[in-house]
Amino acid sequence: MKKLLMKGLLLLSLCSVIILVSQAQQRQIGEAGLQDTLLLKDYRPQSIFKTPQTPVLKAKYPAIDMHMHAPRGGGDLNKAAAELLKSMDECGIGKTILFCGTGKAFDNAAAVFGKYPDRIEVWCGLDFSGSVPTSTIAELERCVKLGARGVGEVTDKGAGLRGATPPMHFDDARMDPVLEKIAELNLPINVHVGDPRWMYEPMDSTNDLLFEALYFRLDNKPDILNLEQVVATLEGALKKHPRTTFVACHFLNQTFDLNRLGAMLDKYPNLYSDVSQRESYVAAIPRFAKQFMEKYSNRLVYGTDQGYSLPMYRNTFHIWETLDEHFYAWDVANTRFALSGVGLSDATLKKLYRDNALRILKK
C-alpha cells in the first residue's frame, strides 16, 4: 500500500512538472508571436488603475486659444469656420488666434474667418520667397491692411526659417528690419524654435518617445543646427529686439528641461511661451510641471494647435485642471506616455487661459 501511494505521488509530481513545462512553453510561443506581430504603432494600452477620472467638458474659465491654424491645402473654409466656432462654444473658448499664412492663403482665410472678429483673430506668416527684408515687409504690411493682428507661426527647426533661401535664422541681420517693423506695427510674433528633444536623439531602444520621434526625426540631418543652437538664435533676436513681443510656442520645445525656458523668461521680459500641443509631454512630469507653471504663471498662454475636435480641447482641460492619474488620450495624442493631470491653481488657470493673452493682444 505504501509503495502504491509513493508511486501515485511520484506520478502526480511528474504530471505537475509536465503541465508547468507545457504552460511555460505556451507562454514563450505566445510571447514570441506577440513580438513578431504587434507593431508599436498598434500598441494602445488601457489603464487598469481604479483612480478618479474627471471629465472636463468646458474650460473652467473663459479661454483664449493662442495657437490654431486655418485649414491647410484649401477645402471649404466656411464649413471649417462653422466647425471651429461650434467647438469653441461647446468648450468655453472665447477667442481663437488663427495662423493663416501669407499671400493667397492668407487672403482666402481672412475673407472667411475675418467675418468673426470678436471670436477669431487672424495672424499672417512671413513671406521669405522674395528679397528679404524688402518684400517680406511689403507682404507683412499688406496682410495687416487686410486684418492681420499678429504674426505666426514662424518656424525654424534648425535648417533655417521655413521658406528662406538662402537659409537664415532668427538672429540673421536680414531679419532685423523685419522684427523691428513687427514691433513698430505693435504686433506680437509666434515663433516655433526647434522640435522636441527626442527628435534629435538616436532612434534606438533608449529613446522613450521613439514612435513619434521617428516620424519627426531630425537626428539624420547632420547639416542643421541642433536644438540648443537654434534656441540660441532666438536668444540673439530677443537681445537685439527688446521692443518686439515674442511668443515661443510649445514651451519653446523645452519640456525636457523647463528650467532652460525659465532662465530665458527671467532674462527677457519680451518673451512669452504658449503650451500648445505639449500638454502630453508635461503630463508625464505633472508635479514638476505644476511647480514651473505656477512660478511662471504670468508668462504662459493657452494654445492647442491640434485641429478643432472636442476631444482635443477636453483633453487639454483634463490635464491642466485635474489631478487625475495614469490615463490615455489615444483619440487626441500620439505620444506613448500615460498622462496625469497637472492640477493648476485657479489663479494660474485664469492667467493661462485669458489674462496673459489679453496683455499680449493689448486688449
- Per-residue pLDDT tens digits for 109-135: 999 999 999 999 999 999 999 999 999
For range 43-54, the mean pLDDT? 92
- Residue 9 resides in a domain: no
Residue 254 sits in a domain whose CATH number is: 3.20.20.140
pLDDT band at 355 (very low <50, low <70, confident <90, very high): very high
The Cα 363–Cα 360 span in angstroms is: 8
pLDDT bucket at 363, cuts 50 / 70 / 90: low
Q: Rounded mean pLDDT of the chain?
A: 91
Give domain status of residue 41, yes or no: no
pLDDT above 70 as % of the chain: 90
Q: Which grid cell is 107? A: 487672403
pLDDT at 23 over 70: no
The residue range of the domain holding 230 is 63-308+346-361
Instruction: Kindly give the pairing relationship between strand 151-156 and strand 271-274.
Output: unpaired
Which pLDDT does position 20 carry in this prediction? 46
* ω into 133 cis (within 30 of 0): yes
Give the tens place of pLDDT for each residue, 138-151: 999 999 999 999 99
Residue 50 forms part of a structural domain: no
The pLDDT of residue 22 is above 70: no
Instruction: Give the ranges where the chain is alpha helix by DSSP (H).
Output: 2-37, 77-91, 103-113, 134-145, 176-184, 210-215, 227-240, 258-267, 279-282, 286-295, 310-321, 346-350, 356-361
Residue at 51 is within a domain: no
Q: Do the beta carbons of residue 297 and residue 328 sit within 8 Å?
A: no
Residue 55 in this model has a pLDDT that exceeds 70? yes
- Lowest-confidence region among 8-12, 42-46, 337-341: 8-12
The per-residue pLDDT for 30 is: 52
Distance CA 91, CA 7 (A): 73
Q: Where are the alpha helices (DSSP H) in 43-123?
A: 77-91, 103-113
pLDDT of residue 72: 84
258 close to 248: Cβ distance less than 8 angstroms: no
Average pLDDT over residues 182-205: 97
Spatial distance between the Cα atoms of 219 and 169, rounded to a whole number of angstroms: 19
Choose the weakest-confidence range: 163-167, 211-215, 335-339: 335-339
Residue 134 lies in a domain: yes
Question: What's the burial of 49, exposed, middle or buried (CB within 10 Å: 0-12/13-18/19+)?
Answer: exposed
DSSP 340: -
- Count Cβ neighbours within 10 Å for each residue of 188-200 and write b for 16 or more, e otherwise: bbbbbbbbbbbbb
Determine what percent of the chain is predicted with pLDDT higher than 90.
Answer: 82
Detail the DSSP E strand segments found in 225-270.
245-248
Cell numbers given for 36: 513578431
Look at residue 220 and tell me if it is in a domain.
yes
Residue 19 has pLDDT above 90, yes or no: no
Residue 18 has pLDDT above 80, yes or no: no
pLDDT at 320: 98
295-305 residue pLDDT tens: 999 999 999 99
Give the amino acid at 357: A
Q: Which burial class, exposed, middle or buried, applies to 362 when counting CB atoms under 10 A from its CB (0-12, 13-18, 19+)?
A: exposed
Residue 135, CA distances (Å) to 96, 131, 178 in order: 28, 5, 10
Instruction: State the cell numbers at 215.
Output: 516620424
* Grid cell 485669458 in the structure block, residue: 354
pTM: 0.89
Range with the poorest average pLDDT among 14-23, 243-252, 268-277, 291-300: 14-23
According to the model, what pLDDT value does residue 119 have? Answer: 98
pLDDT above 60 (res 15): no
Compute φ and ψ for 26, nearest 5 degrees.
-65, -40
> Domains in the chain: how many in total?
1
In a domain, 23, yes or no: no
Q: How confident is the model at residue 42 (pLDDT cuts 50, 70, 90)?
A: confident
- Is the residue at 281 inside a domain? yes
pLDDT at 34 over 80: no
